[in-house]
Every structure is written in C-alpha cells, then in structure tokens.
Amino acid sequence: MKTVQLLSGEKVPQLGLGTWKMGERGGSKREEIAAVQLAIDLGMTLIDTAEMYGEGGSEKMIAEAISGRRDKLFLVSKIYPHNASRTNTQVACERSLRRLNTDRIDLYLLHWRGRPPLSETMEAFQKLKADGKIRHYGVSNLDTSDMEELWGVDGGPLTQVNQVYYNPAARGIEFDLLPWQRKHRVPIMAYSPVDQAKLATDRTLAAIGKRHSATAAQVALAWGLRHPDSIVIPKAVKPEHLRQNAAALDIKLTPEDLAEIDKAFPPPKKKQRMEMT
C-alpha cells in the first residue's frame, strides 16, 4: 500500500475505505462487515466514518468488523458541527469511542464548519489529544479562507488533513485550496472520488480504462491517486468493487490520458464555490 505522510510525520494508507450510507439498514449489516474486513485484507486499513453516518450506525458496524484488528487500523471519524463547541466536543467524541469500541480515534475531523468558533473546536481537539482520546485532528469541507482563519488560531496549524469532495468532475479545489494546502503540507482526503458512481459510466474514462485493462471507476481513482499527497476514500461494499479499487493503485495514467481527462473535465479557471455532498 502506498502511503501519504501527515504533518506529524506519520504515514497513512493513500487508499482507504469510506463508509457513508453504511450502517443505516440492519439487513445490509453482514455484507457491510464483510466489506470492511475485505478492505483491511486488501491493505485499505484507513477506515473513514462519522457520527452522522447512520446516526452512529456506521461506527457500530465498524466496531464489529474490526474486532481483534484494531491495532492494524487508522480510524477516522467526524464530529457534527453543532457538537464541536468547547463543552460538547468531549461528549460527542466519547460517544463515538463507545460506538467504535475503542480507546482512541486516530484522526478526528470537524465534519463541516458550523456556529462554534474554530478556536473553540481546536481547543477541544487539543484537550482530546492531550487526554489520549484522539491521536490527530483535522477538518472537512473547509475552503481556503476557512483554512487561513484556522491557521491563525491556537492549534490550527496542527491540522493534519482537510477532507473534501474531489474527483475529475469536481475540481474546484484546484484553483486555490489545493495549492494552499500543498504550501502548508496539509494533505487532502478526497471523498466521493467516483462522484457517487456517476463516473463509473463516463465514456472518456471508460475509453482510457480500456487502454489500461481497467474500468472507468478505476481510472477516476487512479486520477485522484496520482497526487502523492492525496488520500482517497471510495466507498464500496461489493467484493469485486473493493478489489478493483485496490488494483487502481497500480494504474499509471499517461500524459495523454490526463490531457483527455482535462478536455472532458476542464480544470477551474476561477474561484468556485466549494462542493459538498
């Protein structure tokens, strides 16, 4: 598994598993547990979840899936913005810890910006880190101006990642956010890297994939993985999709491939509003 180095110096898997919409239906639980376990076997030991996903259902499902394997994993969870105040962050984190059946979260993220000031959230995150309940912290869905503000508050420059919506069809962050994060050595964590499966049927990506004996979805993943400082977290449940995701790490897109993608999905020429799902 290729890795990405965080600001802390720790290296984490470049390809992980997203679990949005998992843990919501009891009838899918067995299949989802098997998916998490197969992802781990394939080297995707970075598992991303959130208290929002199934209102804790995803965290509970993951707890069952990782029983006996916790020490091999890098667990990421996210806090609701309305919980990210000085007083409520501790309570929300402890709930996630109980649901995940673990004593620490490896990376704890602010899911998106809400009413509590960033200074309060950072203060609370630093306390959780000092208490050993989280190992690192970061943010999600913060734009360039938010990141600049974050860097001005105590603890802000210890932010390890910004998890954002990024794929060939959603490239707005390339105009200013991605350069800003590279300058400050903050990796992005790309969610919905196949645009919620929409890119799996894209003709341009399929044509490129044919040259690599790959699917359009694999080309979309390879496009995101081409950045050595980007972590990519596709959601998958079916075994064949999980195996295809892992195989995308071996796809080397050529300059001609990238030019075709740029033609079909032009990079931004001006500031765009941050996209979220």
Which residues are known to be catalytic? 53
SS3 per-residue string spanning the chain: CCEEECCCCCEEECECEECCCCCCCHHHHHHHHHHHHHHHHCCCCEEECCCCHHHHHHHHHHHHHCCCCHHHCEEEEEECHHHCCCCHHHHHHHHHHHHHCCCCEEEEEECCCCCCCHHHHHHHHHHHHHCCCEEEEEEECCCHHHHHHHCCCCCHHHCCCEEEECECCECHHHCCHHHHHHHCCCCEEEECCCCCCHHHHCHHHHHHHHHCCCCHHHHHHHHHHCCCCEEECCECCCHHHHHHHHHHHHCCCCHHHHHHHHHHCCCCCCCCCCCCC
Amino acid at residue number 204: T
